[in-house]
Amino acid sequence: MNIAGKKSIFYILVAFTLVLLVGFYLILLCYTYVRYNPTSLLTLVRTPAVSHAIMVSVISATIATVLALFFSVPASYFLSRNEFFGKVFIDALLDIPVFVSPVALGALLLVLFSSPVGIRVQGFLFPVVFALPGIIVAQFTVVTGLSIRLLKATFDQIPSRYEEVARTLGCSPFQSFCKVTLPLSKNGILAAGIIAWARAIGEFGATITLVGAAEMKTETIPTAVYLSFASADVDRALTMVAILILTALSGLVIIRMISGGKVLF
Amino acid sequence: MENLDIRLKGFHFEGINLEVRTGEYYVLLGPSGVGKTIVLETIAGLFKQHAGKIVVDGKDVSLLPPEARQVAFVPQDLALFPHLTVLDNILFGVRLRGIAQGIYQPLLDELIKVLEIGHRLTAFPRTLSGGEKQRIALARALITRPKILLLDEPMSSLDPPIRRQLQKILQEIHTHFEVTILHVTHNQEEAFILADVISVMMEGAIVQTGKRNRVYFFPETKKLALFTGMENIFPGTVVGMDRERREVRLDHAGMTFTARYDREVSKEHVFFGVRAEEVMIIKDYRPIPESIQNENILTVALRRVVEKGSSHTMEFDEVHRHVCFVAEVPNYVYRKIDYKIGQKMRLFIRRNNICVME
């Protein structure tokens, strides 16, 4: 067999794995929703418990994402532009939320906020354990590590030479960041924000461990999925799953559209 | 720059002194990787010097941030802001400083005219050619009216025709806008074409500074002579010195050469050399004119000819001692006279063109 023939067999094998994976996910989605009555989705969305869970998820994920970006944009910029002693350790530490199970993170948060210091912090600021703000804390803890990772990759791709030239043209460090680096990293920041938001809205482990799942109080979409299955309410559970899937899909499509397919993941 | 001490990125320079006079075109010449860019970036304020002083227009800027130095820097990769149009790139500095349009507009119009960029003002950098990018980067730097313009290898990525075009543009902006320029390059031809003054940097130190002709034709060390492309370099022994006639006599392989004496030669064993384009050929049947009888005349045989496009490089062997000499001959001269391999002829080297190196 000639070289071209070998090459084509290789490509067929590679393509076959892709077909298998796409098929698997399509069957997973289609098989469930072929048997599911879509009209019941709208009916269920209007029920107070479900709409409350959606509202809690959307608002908390949005606040958690804004907070995550507020901290991770400057932090990841600093990490990208500086070499210092202990950087490897700090890098690894900030990766912990990405690699450690969210349930474990939730347990750590619960222990921290149940300690005397944590109780004092809650008294001074706002309640966290088994309270609505706790959802934001849990989501923020999980998604910040992820957004730092994505933003650092974005800043790494922007040569610091642009900032240096901007400095010689009269910019202060802050001006060069605002006028050059931020506009150039706009797509990366937007992508990180959307991913963080999608991850926050789907967050389950840390949230349920820290704030529980009280209906009409601290129930989010993922906890509603869990509780619905636990109480054998499959229609309600699948409605919630559909909302999560639509949210994630729309986020990913938007990212690919704004970045012209050249995203970091 | 006074006694500048730079220690970073694995480089360690000590006691670097550079003095660029107002309105001068100054070239810092040196082989790649010697650290020229770091010197430029230190002047721009992008790196902090370990010790020493940087003075711009009489003001010590050593501790000032880049934005307060009134120094414009055009890096090798140009770093045109990709998210801005050409016009926004050019006006970046003046808008930032809040300079009114009425003040910068006349200079902008002049820059657009001189650099011929009027048709590209609304384009984005990704659509520009290499030469256009260079001209935009120059306009962006010049519109801020810097006290000194720092250019880092501005022609390294350009094709030869565009490079020649940019050389002309640099000469024009230097004279037209009366701007002081410090230009870093590894290309000795580029340095020679553009510079008023050349400093040569080798192995972390400035090894020679002088007017371009001085550096090009009379390098002070053998290493520098090799770097500037001097082909005829020989070890020699000083056998005599006539201070009145400003002559030094040198011996190499039993041949005696006379060179111009322009500074004290402290060593007995030195190197001496002459550029190939300064070696002249006299055909063997022609008499030696009386006026040059006291100059260096050698009897040689043609060994090899290398055609270089615009000129011919001819290699000769001295007939008795087989020492090789190289001469660079323009095409029209080479074509006019019919040279044959092995043909005997004489080489004439003016004493004023021989440089003595330590």
What ranges do the domains of chain A cover?
1-35, 40-259
**Dihedral sign for Cα atoms in the order A232, A237, A239, A241:** negative
Q: Dig out the tokens for A5 from the structure.
A: 């023939």
- Put simply, the answer to whether A167 touches B45 (Cβ < 8 Å) is yes
Under the banding of pLDDT at 50, 70 and 90, the label for residue A259 is low
Spell out which residues of chain A touch residue B44, defining contact as CB-CB under 8 Å. 164, 168
**Model confidence at A260, in pLDDT bands (50, 70, 90)?**
low
Task: Say what the alpha-carbon torsion angle B314, B317, B323, B327 is, to the nearest 10 degrees.
Answer: -20
Nearest CA in chain A to B142: A169
How far is B205 from chain A, CA to nearest CA, in Å? 25
Q: What CATH number is associated with residue B281?
A: 2.40.50.100
Model confidence pLDDT, tens digit, residues B273-314: 999 999 998 877 777 777 777 788 888 999 999 988 888 999
At A181-194, the pLDDT tens digits run: 999 999 899 889 98
Contact status, residue A256 vs residue A263, Cβ threshold 8 Å: yes
The Cα of B62 is separated from the nearest Cα of chain A by a number of Å equal to: 14
Contact by Cβ (8 Å): A149, A162: no
**Could you tell me if B208 and B298 lie in one domain?**
no
List CB contacts of A13: < 8 A, sequence separation 6 or more: none
ipTM of the complex: 0.83
Cβ separation B79–A162 shorter than 8 A = yes
Selected residue with higher pLDDT from A27 and A255: A27
**Residue A230 neighbours by CB under 8 Å, 6+ apart:** none
Work out how many domains chain B is built from and give that number.
Answer: 2
Q: Does residue B253 form part of some domain?
A: no
Sequence-ordered alpha helix ranges (H) in chain A: 3-34, 39-45, 48-81, 87-99, 102-114, 116-124, 132-157, 161-168, 173-176, 182-184, 186-201, 205-211, 221-230, 234-259
On chain B, the residues whose CB falls within 8 A of the CB of A169 are 67, 72, 92-93, 96, 140-141, 144
The reply to whether B161 and B35 lie within a common domain is yes
Over 70: is that where the pLDDT of A265 sits?
A: no
Does residue B160 sit within a domain? Answer: yes
Q: What are phi and psi of B337, to 5 degrees?
A: -110, 135
B56 and B186 share one domain = yes
Beta strand pairing status for B11-16 and B55-56?
A: unpaired
Give the closest-approach CA distance of B80 to chain A in angstroms. 7
Q: How far is B78 from chain A (nearest CA, A)?
A: 9
**How far away is chain B from the Cα of A184, in angstroms, using its nearest Cα?**
7
Whether B204 and B292 map to the same domain: the answer is: no
Helix pair B36-44, A161-168: axis angle to 10 deg: 50
Residue A171 pLDDT more than 70? Answer: yes
List beta partners, residue B198. Answer: B27, B210
**Quick check: B271 and B318 in contact, CB under 8 A?**
no
* Closest partner CB to A175 (pick from B44, B81, B96): B96
Q: How far apart are CA B14 and CA B20, in angstroms?
A: 19
| Cβ–Cβ below 8 Å for B79 and A165 | yes
Greater confidence (A214 vs B278) lies with B278
Q: Do A161 and B77 touch (CB under 8 A)?
A: yes
Considering Cα of B95, then B100, then B104, then B109, what sign does the dihedral take? Answer: positive
* DSSP-derived secondary structure letter, B358: -
Give chain B's contact residues with A (Cβ, < 8 Å): 41, 44-46, 65-67, 69, 71-73, 75, 77, 79, 81-83, 92-93, 96-97, 140-141, 144
Sheet with strand B344-349: strands edge to edge: B280-283, B344-349, B296-307, B311-318, B324-330
Render pLDDT for B236-256 as a digit per residue (tens, 0 to 9). 998 888 888 788 889 998 888
Scanning every residue of chain A, which has its alpha carbon at the shortest distance from the alpha carbon of B41?
A164
Per-residue pLDDT band at A264 (split at 50, 70, 90): very low
What is the predicted pLDDT for the residue at B158?
81
Sheet holding B255-260, edge to edge: B255-260, B247-252, B232-242, B269-274, B355-357
> Does B324 reside within a domain?
yes
Residue of chain B nearest A180, judged by CA positions:
B81
Looking at CA atoms only, how far is residue B94 from chain A in angstroms?
8
Cα gap A76→A80, rounded to integer Å: 6
Nearest chain B alpha carbon to A171: B67
Q: Is residue B50 part of a domain?
A: yes
- How far is it, in rounded angstroms, from Cα B65 to Cα A81? 18
Contact A164 B81 (CB under 8 A): no
User: Which residue from A minimizes the CA distance to B72?
Assistant: A168
Whose CA is closest to B33, among B5, B6, B7, B9? Answer: B9
- What is the percent of chain A where pLDDT is above 90? 46
CA separation, residue A71 to residues A18, A144, A203, B40 (Å): 37, 8, 19, 35
| pLDDT at position B338 | 73
For residue B260, the surrounding DSSP H or E stretch is strand B255-260
Which helix or strand (DSSP H or E) is residue B205 part of? strand B205-211
**Phi/psi at B148 (nearest 5 deg)?**
-150, 140
- Chain-chain contact of B79 with A167 (C-beta, under 8 angstroms): no
What pLDDT does A47 receive?
A: 83
Q: Kindly give the confidence (pLDDT) of every residue in chain B, 358 residues in length, as a single tens digit, with 9 standing for 90 and above.
A: 778 888 876 778 888 888 999 999 999 999 988 888 989 999 999 988 888 889 988 889 989 999 999 999 999 999 999 999 999 999 999 999 889 999 999 999 999 998 889 999 999 999 998 889 999 999 999 999 999 999 999 888 788 888 888 899 999 989 988 899 999 999 988 999 999 999 999 888 888 999 988 888 888 889 999 988 899 999 999 888 888 878 888 999 888 899 987 777 777 888 999 999 999 988 777 777 777 777 888 889 999 999 888 889 999 998 888 789 999 998 888 887 777 888 888 899 998 899 988 7
Does residue B307 sit within a domain? yes
Determine, yes or no, domain membership for B51: yes
Name the minimum distance, in Å, from the CA of A194 to any CA of chain B. Answer: 22
**Which of A158, A167, A168, A182 is the mutation pick for testing B, counting most B CBs within 10 A?**
A168
- Alpha-carbon separation of residue B98 from B44, B93, B149, B332 (angstroms): 21, 9, 21, 58
Contacts of B141 in chain A (CB under 8 A): 169
For residues B221 and B270, the answer to whether their CB atoms sit within 8 Å is no
Asked if the structure places residue B225 within a domain, the reply is no
User: What domain range includes position B40?
Assistant: 2-217
Contact A154, A192 (CB under 8 A): yes
**Residue from the list B41, B46, B67 with its beta carbon closest to the beta carbon of A172:** B67
**Of the partner residues A162, A170, A184, the one whose CB lies closest to the CB of residue B96:** A170
The C-alpha atoms of residue B220 and residue B231 are separated, in whole angstroms, by 15
The architecture that CATH gives domain A40-259 is Orthogonal Bundle (1.10)
Q: Which of B45, B46, B96 sits opposite A169 (nearest CB)?
A: B96
Residues B85 and B177 in one domain: yes
For residue A44, with 0-12 CB atoms within 10 Å meaning exposed, 13-18 middle and 19 or more buried, which class applies? Answer: buried
* Co-location of B207 and B331 in the same domain: no
Look at residue A1 in the predicted model and tell me its pLDDT: 47
Mark yes or no for CB contact B75/A164 under 8 Å.
Answer: yes
Q: What is the mean pLDDT of residues A24-53?
A: 79
Same domain, B92 and B211: yes
> For residue B327, is it within any domain?
yes
- CA-derived radius of gyration, chain B: 24
pLDDT at residue B285, rounded to an integer? 73
